[in-house]
Amino acid sequence: MSLPTGTVTLLFTDIEGSTRLVRERGSAWPALLAEHHRLLREAFRRYRGAEVGVEGDGFFVAFDDPGCAVAGAVAAQHSLATLEGVRVRIGMHTGAPRLTEIGYVGEDVHRAARIADAGHGGQVLLSETTRDLVPGAPVRDLGEHRLKDLTQPQRLYQLEGEGLEHSFPPLRTLENRPTNLPVQATPLIGRERELAAVVELVQRPEVRLVTLHGPGGCGKTRLALQAAAELVDDFPDGVYVVALESVEDAALVVPTIAQTLGVNETGAHGVEEALRRALGDRRVLLVLDNFEHLLPAAPRLSELLATTDLHLVVTSRAALRLSGEYEWPVPPLSHDDAVALFAGRAEIEITDENAKAVGEICRRLDGLPLAIELAAARSRRLSPDEILERLDERILSQGTGPSDLPSRQQTLRRAIDWSYDLLAAEERVLFARLAVFSGGCSIEAAEEVCDAGLDVLEALLENNLLRREDRPYGDRRVRMLETIREYAGERLEELGERAALRQRHAEWFVEWSSERRRLRREAVILGEWERESDEYENLRSALAWLRNSGEIELELELATALGGYWGISGYLSEGRAWLEDALDRAGDAPPLARAAAMHVCAGLPWRQDDAEASDRWAAAAHEIFVAEGEERGAAEALMTRAIAAEQRGDVEAESRFHDEAEAIFRELGLERPLASILNNRAYAALVLHQWERAERLFAESVEIFRRLGGAWWFPMLNLGLVACVTGRPHDAERAFRDAGRAGVQMAEVETVYYALEGLGSTAASRGDDLEAARFWGASEALRDPAGAKLQAAERELHDRLEAEARGRTGDDAFERSWAIGRSLSYDEAVALV
């Protein structure tokens, strides 16, 4: 049968767990596989499917009519039902692939294969396109999913119908995996062989560190990200990318890794130890992207590798030269792929007229993806012939370029030069100025710091010198690839504006973060810290600039504004170092500014189990606030002293500081801080098993927060705890669900896992032991990546209830249920709340 052309429905099949089956069935396997082939062929042929190929134990079949593809899939599952233990996943997608002598090619083919890969044995998945073309087919909408091709999420449908199974575990897609791999704006082109080689290398058990190296813009990052996506099934505990390009200090590599993994520095051990503990012997793959400027940190990686089971893929212009490192040079794109990349980015078809020019451009540019993208970006105004002509001029005028650069690096340099030369004067100025940002910037920052006009910004985006990066919380950001930013930095130097711009940059971020701090003190902000996290490299660089230029007051203001972020992020030691260092030099700064910094500084050490230092800073701040007559500040410092006292176990001091603080707030008529005091005091009562008092104070705290708009879900969780301990599961459940829902709405994972923990305890206290195990498992899965532990009161209750529950169910049943809870995705865990 000949292969259909035009609109084609592409169907892939795959046997679930075939490696295991081969092992289990031994000599019976070949016959079983042959029968599988026969049944599938028969089913697909009946519905006029054309077999494109068989790869291993999977079929690739093309259908002219999408309705036939659906019917064929149903028939296939029906006949497979007779083959015991053999379960097949089927996925399909409709598109317009090109038919060439090597078969179908194009994105749609990959997409169809990815869709099949996302399913489970017995399941049939349809892309949205296919499902729209077969409106009569009974389907269930499974929502949007990210496939391993790293493109935008796709809506997927599960085929329902008689004789088909309908309940399956969550799809094997990226959102059901612990990963932060970013969506790619454009499809990957070529690289099949390279991907297979890198994936195979990383899968080898003895390989812990692979370095993809090569000149700027040769496609290291792109290859590493795609390889990581292919490897998500091999690393069930997570696949994460850590962007290092704007991290300037080698000492910050490990803290940045911790921050990306959501590991908070807790206790006295520092961030390395926290990271080691959180990783333990878990199978995690990290992509460390752009390591070249951080080579002094390489020994740190060796230590991490020696003490954990971590696997690393590093991208870097130069290899790290560590023992045990596998160096993997990234080659240029093959000629055909380079041409396909140019055509794709230029949005042109390759025709007889332009084929020669495009081929020539790609050759001149050595198959370097970044150089090709820069050239292709000009196609809106220039034809391939004109682009080639201008490239040639550039190459001639420059000769061979600085001869100490390796040749592909020279090529890239020329391509950037060329692209820069084509810019209008004001575009050049803005391009250079944008180099002042580290890690990209918001449109607003570009406008304010660099006087960016939106049309000029647009021109840079169009020419690919700048990339758009929209954030989930709605902000629009732009960013330069690192190679391009370096180049822009040189132009900024020539412009002679560097110092002035760094100053403006710093001042702008002082304003920005102070404003954020003011807002946060008045109300709870949605997605509270994500912006700080996105701006962190800018903030660091602003702090460094202010320190080096002796602007102590601004430095103090910025460090103070960042205190809250340092407190909740993985950067406790770093934050404390910035603050303590600034305070050391701040003798002449205005007293109130110093006191504010001291108080913020006091908020960090107690999280490192250093209550002494917290108390010292809080006491110093208090003294200044009192001397300056700043009562609110004084009361807040007393609250911090109370927390430090509680941590030291000094009940008397805790209560005294709270009394003093409370009196001041009442006098000032400030109610919001009272709610926090009530919550803290209630918690102290809880630890002492004073249930009635605890409940009364928590309830008051909830009431005030609700009325004034504050984080009422914290005391609400505690109310649930009291209700649970005092034998009122009904009240407990309500409290945990209310708080949990608020946590979901505010995207506060912490609140969600405490709510799940509480619901587990409630279930256990009712005797629903397996349900309890499931809740606890789900809570643990959310808590683990952050390295968070339960607080004392929760721990105590939990340990008692868990022992009782296990006693009733037996360990096996209990642990099975726990494991199910652990395997839930975030969305499914949320559904439990």
Q: In the complex, which residues of this chain contact ligand ATP (CB under 6 A)? A: 186, 188-191, 216-222, 290, 315, 317, 341, 369-370, 373, 481-483
What is the residue whose two structure tokens read 């061979």? Answer: 400
CA 553 to mean position of chain CA atoms: 35
311: part of which helix (H) or strand (E)? strand 311-316
Q: Is there binding between residue 483 and Mg ion (CB under 5 A)?
A: no
Report the residue number, 13 or 483, with the smaller CB distance to ligand ATP: 483
User: Least Å distance between CB 400 and ligand ATP?
Assistant: 22
Structure tokens at 36: 């599988």
93: part of which helix (H) or strand (E)? strand 88-95
Q: Among all residues, whose Cβ is closest to Mg ion? A: 221
User: Least Å distance between CB 361 and ligand ATP?
Assistant: 15
188 binds, among ligand ATP, Mg ion, none (CB under 5 to 8 A by kind): ligand ATP
**380: exposed, middle or buried (C-beta count within 10 Å: 0-12, 13-18, 19+)?**
exposed
191 binds, among Mg ion, ligand ATP, none (CB under 5 to 8 A by kind): ligand ATP
242-to-218, 564, 648, 697 alpha-carbon distances in Å: 19, 23, 37, 43
What DSSP designation does 181 have? P
User: Least Å distance between CB 559 and ligand ATP?
Assistant: 31
Q: E-assigned strands of 562-652?
A: none
Report the residue number, 98 or 140, with the smaller CB distance to ligand ATP: 98
Q: Which of residues 675-694 bind Mg ion (CB under 5 A)?
A: none
User: Least Å distance between CB 240 and Mg ion?
Assistant: 16
User: Least Å distance between CB 40 and Mg ion?
Assistant: 42
13 binds, among Mg ion, ligand ATP, none (CB under 5 to 8 A by kind): none
784 binds, among ligand ATP, Mg ion, none (CB under 5 to 8 A by kind): none
658: part of which helix (H) or strand (E)? helix 651-668
CA 185 to mean position of chain CA atoms: 16
373 binds, among Mg ion, ligand ATP, none (CB under 5 to 8 A by kind): ligand ATP
Report the residue number, 143 or 182, with the smaller CB distance to ligand ATP: 182
User: Least Å distance between CB 674 and ligand ATP?
Assistant: 52
Structure tokens at 452: 């960016």
Report the residue number, 86 or 243, with the smaller CB distance to ligand ATP: 243
Give the interface size with Mg ion as a residue count (CB under 5 A).
1
Whose CA is closest to 832, among 740, 766, 770?
740
572 binds, among ligand ATP, Mg ion, none (CB under 5 to 8 A by kind): none
User: Least Å distance between CB 80 and ligand ATP?
Assistant: 37
CA angle 241, 246, 247 (to 5 degrees): 80
User: Least Å distance between CB 294 and ligand ATP?
Assistant: 13
763-to-13, 739, 756 alpha-carbon distances in Å: 42, 17, 10
Q: Which of residues 197-256 bind Mg ion (CB under 5 A)?
A: 221
User: Least Å distance between CB 287 and Mg ion?
Assistant: 10
Report the residue number, 246 or 608, with the smaller CB distance to ligand ATP: 246
User: Least Å distance between CB 289 and Mg ion?
Assistant: 6
Report the residue number, 288 or 694, with the smaller CB distance to Mg ion: 288
User: Least Å distance between CB 336 and Mg ion?
Assistant: 23
Q: Is there binding between residue 316 and Mg ion (CB under 5 A)?
A: no
Report the residue number, 537 or 757, with the smaller CB distance to Mg ion: 537
Q: Is there binding between residue 442 and Mg ion (CB under 5 A)?
A: no
What residues contact residue 100 under an 8 Å CB cut-off, 6+ apart?
none
Report the residue number, 373 or 654, with the smaller CB distance to ligand ATP: 373
Q: Which ranges of 218-313 does DSSP label H, i.e. alpha helix?
A: 220-230, 253-260, 270-279, 298-307
Structure tokens at 304: 């991490």
Report the residue number, 292 or 534, with the smaller CB distance to ligand ATP: 292
Amino acid at 223: L
Q: Is there binding between residue 354 and Mg ion (CB under 5 A)?
A: no
CA 729 to mean position of chain CA atoms: 37
The whole-angstrom separation of Cα 223 and Cα 339 is: 18
In this structure, is the dihedral angle defined by the CA atoms of residues 725, 729, 735 and 741, taken in order, positive or negative? Answer: positive
Report the residue number, 286 or 724, with the smaller CB distance to ligand ATP: 286
Biggest CA–CA distance in the chain, Å, is 92
809: part of which helix (H) or strand (E)? helix 792-809
Q: Is there binding between residue 410 and Mg ion (CB under 5 A)?
A: no
Whose CA is closest to 468, among 487, 445, 440?
440
Report the residue number, 40 or 375, with the smaller CB distance to ligand ATP: 375
Pairing of strands 285-289, 311-316: parallel
Contact status, residue 126 vs residue 159, Cβ threshold 8 Å: yes
80 binds, among Mg ion, ligand ATP, none (CB under 5 to 8 A by kind): none
Tally of CB atoms within 10 A around 378: 21
430 binds, among ligand ATP, Mg ion, none (CB under 5 to 8 A by kind): none
> Which stretches of the chain bind Mg ion, using CB under 5 A?
221
